[in-house]
A and B are shown apart, each in its own frame.
Chain A
Amino acid sequence: MVNLSKISEEGLGSQSLQRAFDGIIPLVAGTCAADGTPNITFMSQFFYVDEQHVAISYQFMNKTWRNLNINPIFTTLVTNPDTMAMWKLKLQYVEEQKEGPIFEEMEMQLMALSTPENINFSLRSAVICRVLSIENVFEGSEMP
């Protein structure tokens, strides 16, 4: 487990983890409903904001959104597509942004992923989250 104070040098700032944010392998987010029922879903985008914050894309996550407004601390699982390394990030929902530079950058990246016959990648908002902890679950392996 990486302490918050060390996130910038060992966690969010690492190239290997940031590669996992590219969306090639969708991240998985787990939230909890008021009655304790877990809800897990895929999200297509994870965006580095600063040393202690990330943004996730709000597209199709109705249940996740309801859960975040009840239990704002949640877990995400991200995978580096080059090494298959996996990390769990414990996040705390901070705010929703429907405009501004972070939203616009995320929207542009999602539009690049869209194709006419493919999934609709329109963005409703950028969900800004504080990173509480980072845990390397699986180290993967380097490219041969």
Chain B
Amino acid sequence: MLLTDHQTDLLQAHYTSTYVGYSGANSLTDIIKLSGVLVNEDRVHIDLFVPELYTQTFVKNIQENVKLSCLFTSVYTLETYQIKGTYLGTRPCTAAEINLQKAYVEGFGQHRVNLGMKNGLAFVKYYREPGIAIRMRAEEIYEQTPKTGTGKKIG
């Protein structure tokens, strides 16, 4: 599947809240809030950025199960999608990716302030170095905006 322009823009926007989900052999899904996302030009491969500090269970689980899910939503409209796909690898973040994450956490925090959360910029401290990039191949996408009938596979 290919991500559309709209899905790509939403996934990378600073007003978008993003998460990755992964399960181990024990069938327990864990969740990490992401500190940034970058969609490859091919619209199939996605780099999910996260501080290494939050990846303890990820390192163990991904050796047992390579299936990943990425959830993303606009904090203003709640327009939401979930991408399901396959883990391809991890690597340290580049300098450009570190800057991308710093810009994201500050931008995201500011959008929370705009929504009336006076301390929204506290989210900036969520970002810690070192960060890692998790590469994922997108295979399916589902609409998950909270409304009746949601959950439909759209790609």
Identify the A interface with B (CB < 8 A): 24-26, 28, 30-32, 36-42, 44, 59-60, 62-63, 71, 73-77, 81-84, 86, 88, 90, 119-120, 137-138, 140-144
Whether A120 contacts B122 in the complex (CB less than 8 A), given A39-B69, A40-B31, comes out as no
Q: Can you list 28 pairs linking A and B with CB atoms under 8 Å apart?
A: A28-B71, A30-B23, A32-B23, A32-B28, A36-B23, A36-B27, A38-B29, A40-B20, A41-B71, A41-B82, A59-B146, A60-B148, A60-B151, A71-B28, A76-B31, A77-B31, A82-B118, A83-B122, A84-B117, A84-B123, A84-B126, A86-B126, A88-B30, A88-B31, A120-B148, A138-B33, A140-B125, A143-B118
CB atoms of B69 and A82 under 8 A apart: no
Least CB distance from A134 to B in Å reads 14
The secondary-structure label for the interface of chain B is: mixed
Report the interface size for chain B: residues with CB under 8 A from the other chain.
Answer: 38
Q: B147 in the interface, Cβ–Cβ < 8 Å? A: yes
Query: How many inter-chain residue pairs (CB < 8 Å) link A and B?
Result: 119
Identify the B interface with A (CB < 8 A): 19-23, 27-31, 33, 54, 65, 67-69, 71, 73, 78, 80, 82, 84, 109, 112, 117-120, 122-123, 125-126, 144, 146-148, 150-151
